[in-house]
Amino acid sequence: MKYLKSVSLKHGFVTLLHEKPFAGVNGSGKHVNWSVSDSSGRNLLDPGATPNENLVFLTFLCGVLLGVHDNADALRASIASAGNDHRLGANEAPPAIISIFLGSLLDKILNAIETGATDKLNVEKMMIDLGVAHIPNVAKDNTDRNRTSPFAFTGNKFEFRAVGSSASIGYPTAILNAAVCDGLAKINAQLEEKTTAKKVLSSNDLLGILRTVIIATKNIRFEGNGYSEQWRNLAHERGLSHFTDTAQALLVLKDKEKTQFLLTAGVFQGQDIESRLVIQQERYIKQNTIECHCAVEMAQTQVLPACVNYHKQLLKTAQLASELNVPSCAKILATEFGEMTLRLQNSLNAFKIQLEKLTAETVGHENLEKMCSQFSEHVLPKLKILRDAVDAVEAYVPHDMWPYPKYSHMLFGIE
């Protein structure tokens, strides 16, 4: 990111790392490609050509499923930011609901293992019958690249696609590592329970444990359109969390039960988690504060004066047409545009009042949570109303009178 900024300046450009700088246009994020290997460098998420190799693959796949399933809320908090709130859920960005996309072949295999009587079958025969013994087409199957999934398997790795473009990948990757560590530890605990001095675990024992994991994590697997209302309703029925903004998502870091896996893994200590919460809340407040005050200045010192000037021209034209008794649409336009400009001023005033109220009521570090909530529930909705009012007049004011580059100019080159 630092390199992009420095190089762009040399060529007369500015690098925008804001996740969603323009409404209605695709946002920008990061795909964190993630896999896990052993000490010899073998990719443990790379399907093999034998039942034994694929039993290893399935074990680590299930570890990922269990880790993400049990710690999805913390993963959502790790990618929460003011900019990412604008991006998540539309325009090629995945939704804020954490789910896992595996592709049709792997999904079919896991469903078959779920319904299979693993304790009654020879594991090698079963894996051959299910198509798990040799999985040559997994990589090909996952070229689909379902962009509506926040966490997708793509052949021999996962892609965490919900990380914001302005964010470092270090923090969410650390959370993901700890989450998978948690999932593998839980599978290992089940293996140890079955292990005794007199019994050596068989492949059947392992597959039986994996079957319980597959059943327990089925709710988080989803192969369809993550943008659809049907998925939001289905996710709610499945009990999956849907934190639509940063203010909600960050509260997970206050829940000691949901952050215990980070302490267990040794990734953080208790104070580290508290510090992360405060830092992310302060960043959310600071970024929104800057953008809100910038919006006020733009609307008040540039947009409104341009609207008043254009309205004055319409009124003069209408008056002249009336004096000369010439047919003209200027009067109708002046009336319509006058009402639009008045709506703009009213929305600006309402927004300023909400901003002043926020500042007066919630100053101080002890009120970070309240301030985040106020931004989310009251200030940003008012900003959206102001933004809509500005967009409406932008469509009417002539290009040479508009103080900023218009969408039509930036996107289509229309002067």
pLDDT one-digit tens code per residue, 42-100: 899 887 766 667 788 889 999 999 999 999 999 999 999 999 998 887 666 788 899 99
pLDDT along the chain (415 residues), means of 10: 94 90 81 92 81 81 96 95 86 84 83 68 49 49 64 89 92 96 94 74 81 94 88 93 93 94 91 92 92 95 97 94 89 94 97 85 70 92 95 93 87 71
Tokens of residue 381, six digits: 């909705």
| Whole-Å CA distances, 373 to 250, 350, 361 | 11, 18, 12
Residues 223, 105: contact at Cβ < 8 Å? no
Domains contained in the chain, CATH given: 2-268 (no CATH), 282-412 (1.20.120.1560)
Query: Which run of H or of E encompasses 170?
Result: helix 170-194
Dump pLDDT digits (tens) for 350-387: 999 999 888 655 555 568 898 999 999 999 999 999 99
Burial 46-59 (b: 16+ CB within 10 A, else e): bbbeebebbbbbbb
Helical H segments across 299-379, by residue range: 304-323, 330-361, 368-374
Q: Tell me the C-alpha distance between 106 and 68, whole Å.
A: 17
Q: Tell me the C-alpha distance between 208 and 197, whole Å.
A: 20
Identify the sign of the CA torsion 256, 261, 264, 269: negative
Q: Indicate the SS3 state at residue 100.
A: strand
What totals of helices (H) and strands (E) does the chain contain, helices first? Answer: 18, 4
Note the pLDDT of residue 67.
Answer: 97
